[in-house]
């Protein structure tokens, strides 16, 4: 009998342990899941127009890694991946080499485009442009800016490629929308008159700034505080540099450091005129006339532009909900308090009047409280009972 009892108790204990462990096993089974990661599409197509990829495709679509100073500048601009392919024309021995660089956003891509555009490259007219920018040095050498991708094309001398063929290639490049696809606004502040469009350089970091001909050391510009810089040459004059900062305070701090550096350089900087307007610092250097330089920096003004192209962050909705709840609670509290005061007044006033009526007195006849004589004359106060006759 004792053995049977102990056996049943042991069996119950085992069942209890099994039941307690079952939820943990189920939770582990639910938590274990497989995530499928789809590989990114190749940056460059296997074929476009008459051009066919030479040989077989590489094992990865972004095995190409630039080196040297180019790699440092492109990394600074937010390089995500790069690809290099050689194409061959089916009717001959002509070849076409493509180097594609994809960046985090269109701002970094535009900066890389201005860096990779060499002195011999000229911007094509708007009607012949591919994407947001196209430059050519002639002889089959092109630089294309499309979305967040920059493509450098070099064709063999025997048969240079054409704009139409490159346009077919650009259709296959990755597409991007939203804030990442917006071009930078700072270059739009450059005055058009006398501007050499091929000389525009846009920098997001000290390495690219120095590589593109910055007039001051990149360390004092303030790129660590999200500064951006655009530089351009004007025909027969000098260079105009625009620096944009997040706040006017940061602009003032770095503007004073740049002014001190230009004073140290002296005559080597040419005609230097520096002005700050809000978060922007404007500066001329080089062979400007004094009047021209002053007119240039004083003629550029900030524009108030609002771009609302993304959803309101969750924190904003949370703050609105908190404010709404607080105001609702205050309104409810005030309403309840006013109602309570009204009920209490009716209860006390009505109760007092009822008591007076039960005592045989008028409900609101209490002259010592209801009448205040401010005339200064003595007035006889009558009692509430019947008026007594004259005393004999």
Residue owning tokens 């002195």: 119
Mean pLDDT across 92-116: 92
Mean pLDDT across 25-49: 65
**What is the C-alpha separation between 290 and 322, in angstroms, rounded?**
57
Q: Is the pTM of this model over 0.75?
A: no
Query: End-to-end distance of the chain based on CA atoms, in angstroms?
Result: 119
Residues 195-245 pLDDT 10s: 999 999 999 999 999 999 999 999 999 999 999 999 999 998 999 999 999
Residues 153-176 pLDDT 10s: 998 876 667 888 899 999 999 888
pLDDT band at 289 (very low <50, low <70, confident <90, very high): very high
Mean pLDDT across 349-353: 82
**What is the C-alpha separation between 338 and 331, in angstroms, rounded?**
11
Specify the DSSP class assigned to residue 159: S
**What is the C-alpha separation between 282 and 286, in angstroms, rounded?**
14
β-partners of residue 332 are none
149 within 8 A of 130, measured Cβ to Cβ = no
245 within 8 A of 254, measured Cβ to Cβ = yes
> What own/partner pairs with CB < 8 Å and gap ≥ 24 does 66-70 have?
66/99, 66/101, 69/207, 69/211, 70/116
Res 137 pLDDT > 90: no
Domain boundaries, the chain: 39-183, 184-302
Res 177 pLDDT > 60: yes
Q: What is the pLDDT of residue 104?
A: 94
SS3 200: coil
104 within 8 A of 78, measured Cβ to Cβ = yes
Q: What is the pLDDT of residue 64?
A: 72
Res 2 pLDDT > 50: no
What percent of the chain is modeled with pLDDT above 70? 76
Q: What is the pLDDT of residue 39?
A: 59
Mean pLDDT across 91-112: 91
Rounded to whole angstroms, what are the CA distances from 294 to 53, 160, 229, 298? 54, 46, 20, 6
Helix-helix angle 106-116:68-76, to 10 degrees? 150
229 within 8 A of 209, measured Cβ to Cβ = yes
Strands of the 122-123 sheet, one edge to the other: 47-48, 51-53, 79-88, 95-103, 149-155, 141-146, 133-138, 122-123
C-alpha count within 13 angstroms, C-beta hemisphere, residue 295: 8
**What is the C-alpha separation between 182 and 84, in angstroms, rounded?**
26
Mean pLDDT across 178-197: 93
Average pLDDT, the chain: 82
Mean pLDDT across 331-357: 89
């Amino acid at each position: 009998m004792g053995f049977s009892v102990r056996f049943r108790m042991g069996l119950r204990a085992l069942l209890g342990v099994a039941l307690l462990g079952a939820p943990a096993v189920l939770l582990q089974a639910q938590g274990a899941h497989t995530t499928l990661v789809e590989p990114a599409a190749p940056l460059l197509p296997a074929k476009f127009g008459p051009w066919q990829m030479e040989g077989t495709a590489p094992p990865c679509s972004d095995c190409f890694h630039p080196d040297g100073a180019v790699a440092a500048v492109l990394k600074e601009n937010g390089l995500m991946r790069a690809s290099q392919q050689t194409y061959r024309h089916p009717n001959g021995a002509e070849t076409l080499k493509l180097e594609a660089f994809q960046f985090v956003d269109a701002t970094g891509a535009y900066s890389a485009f201005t860096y990779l555009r060499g002195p011999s490259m000229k911007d094509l007219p708007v009607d012949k442009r591919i994407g947001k920018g196209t430059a050519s040095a002639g002889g089959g050498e092109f630089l294309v800016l499309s979305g967040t991708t920059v493509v450098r094309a070099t064709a063999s001398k025997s048969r240079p490629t054409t704009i139409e063929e490159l346009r077919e290639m650009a259709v296959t490049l990755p597409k991007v929308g939203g804030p990442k696809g917006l071009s930078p606004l700072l270059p739009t502040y450059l005055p058009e008159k006398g501007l050499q469009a091929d000389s525009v350089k846009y920098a997001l970091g000290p390495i690219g700034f120095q590589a593109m001909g910055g007039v001051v050391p990149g360390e004092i510009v303030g790129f660590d505080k999200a500064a951006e810089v655009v530089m351009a040459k004007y025909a027969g004059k000098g260079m105009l540099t625009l620096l944009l900062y997040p706040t006017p305070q940061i602009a003032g701090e770095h503007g004073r450091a740049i002014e001190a550096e230009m004073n140290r350089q002296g005559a080597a900087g040419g005609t230097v005129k520096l002005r700050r307007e809000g978060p922007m610092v404007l500066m001329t250097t080089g062979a400007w006339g004094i009047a021209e330089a002053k007119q240039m920096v004083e003629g550029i003004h900030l524009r108030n532009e609002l771009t609302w192209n993304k959803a309101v962050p969750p924190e904003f909705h949370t703050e609105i909900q908190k404010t709404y709840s607080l105001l609702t609670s205050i309104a409810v509290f005030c309403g309840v308090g006013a109602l309570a005061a009204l009920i209490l007044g009716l209860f006390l006033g009505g109760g007092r009047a009822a008591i007076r009526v039960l005592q045989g007195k008028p409900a609101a006849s209490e002259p010592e409280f209801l009448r205040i004589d401010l005339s200064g004359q003595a007035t006889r106060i009558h009692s509430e009972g019947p008026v007594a006759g004259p005393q004999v």
